[in-house]
């Protein structure tokens, strides 16, 4: 017999791989909830089967959130609604924050049951600075939009954490290399599963590695922060470009300066064109 939960919304983190990573508190919350809001009922059914629980499930995802949210809020007034994602902590790279926002505005209690998160787990494996990091979710799929997004990330003085899919991994790594310079990075996949893998190296080397063998599974990219040279102002870059362009074409000068100062090639080339 499970202790009843007070009415409200319960944010429950679920395993990202190994089902044994579900915390006892999370298991007890799922067992006592009146209904569970899920991304995919088939995925959550496997988790519930692992802990020997059967509960009503209600699909809540990108495509139906606006329609289903009022029903979930109504259920929270008299019962306990647990929110889960297919894997990891809800609200991280999914739209669950709107449900939390509306529940708080309605005066409904919100409780979190913390647990696994692929972004944080990858940080612990990457061997890169963890004192300051930015989770940037998924990069855009199209080249132009992706380059723009990376350019916005380039000056941020923090380790970057991104999610990516296997078929797009090599292209994303190469785009990061072009946009950020050849920073140290890690590709972490299948966290807590049988074939967990952490590959480390420069962005260029990782891009080449995965271009030859695109991986499968859930993937996290971790990119180190810009080095001190990359933090140099435009004046330092311009001075190096002016000298280099006395010997080389703008494109070759930009490539030389980008490598020497560890700045994005695109940034160096744009500065070279302006100086010319």
Question: Could you tell me how far CA 66 lies from the centroid of its own chain?
Answer: 24
- The pLDDT of residue 239 is 84
Query: What confidence tens digit (pLDDT) does each residue in 210-257 have?
Result: 998 889 888 999 999 987 544 556 777 888 898 889 889 999 988 888
Locus of tokens 């979190």: 112
CA dihedral 119, 122, 127, 132 (to 10 degrees): 10
Across-strand partners of 57? 36
Rg (alpha carbons) of the chain, rounded to whole number: 23
Which of 157, 115, 119, 112 is CA-nearest to residue 138? Answer: 119
CA dihedral 19, 20, 24, 26 (to 10 degrees): -20
pLDDT greater than 80 at residue 260? no
Mean pLDDT for the stretch of residues 61-65: 89
Q: What is the mean pLDDT of the chain?
A: 92
Mean pLDDT for the stretch of residues 15-38: 96
pLDDT greater than 90 at residue 49? yes
Query: What confidence tens digit (pLDDT) does each residue in 122-171 have?
Result: 999 999 999 999 999 999 999 999 999 999 999 899 999 999 999 999 99
- The pLDDT of residue 233 is 62
Can you tell me the distance from the alpha carbon of 127 to that of 48, in angstroms, rounded to the nearest whole number?
Answer: 34
Name the pTM for this structure. Answer: 0.81
Could you tell me the pLDDT band of residue 204, with boundaries at 50, 70 and 90? Answer: very high
């Amino acid at each position: 017999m499970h202790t009843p939960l007070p009415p409200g919304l319960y944010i429950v983190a679920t395993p990202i791989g190994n089902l044994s990573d579900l915390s006892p508190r999370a298991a007890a919350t799922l067992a006592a909830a009146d209904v569970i809001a899920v991304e995919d009922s088939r995925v959550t059914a496997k988790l519930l089967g692992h802990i020997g629980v059967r509960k009503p499930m209600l699909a809540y995802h990108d495509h139906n959130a606006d329609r289903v949210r009022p029903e979930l809020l109504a259920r929270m007034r008299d019962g306990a609604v647990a929110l889960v994602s297919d894997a990891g902590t809800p609200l991280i790279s999914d739209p669950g924050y709107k449900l939390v926002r509306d529940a708080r505005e309605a005066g409904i209690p919100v409780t979190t049951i913390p647990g696994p998160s692929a972004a944080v787990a990858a940080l612990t494996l990457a061997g890169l600075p963890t004192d300051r990091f930015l989770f940037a979710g998924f990069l855009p799929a199209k080249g132009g939009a992706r380059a723009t997004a990376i350019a916005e990330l380039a000056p941020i003085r923090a380790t970057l954490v991104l999610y990516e899919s296997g078929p797009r991994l090599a292209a994303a790594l190469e785009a990061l290399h072009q946009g950020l310079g050849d920073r140290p990075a890690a590709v972490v996949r299948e966290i807590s599963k049988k074939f967990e893998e952490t590959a480390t190296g420069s962005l260029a080397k990782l891009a080449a590695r995965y271009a030859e063998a695109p991986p499968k599974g859930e993937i996290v990219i971790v990119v180190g922060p810009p080095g001190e040279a990359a933090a140099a102002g435009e004046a330092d870059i311009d001075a190096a470009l002016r000298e280099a362009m006395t010997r080389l074409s703008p494109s070759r000068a930009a490539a030389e300066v980008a490598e020497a100062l560890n700045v994005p090639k695109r940034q160096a080339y744009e500065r070279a064109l302006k100086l010319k």
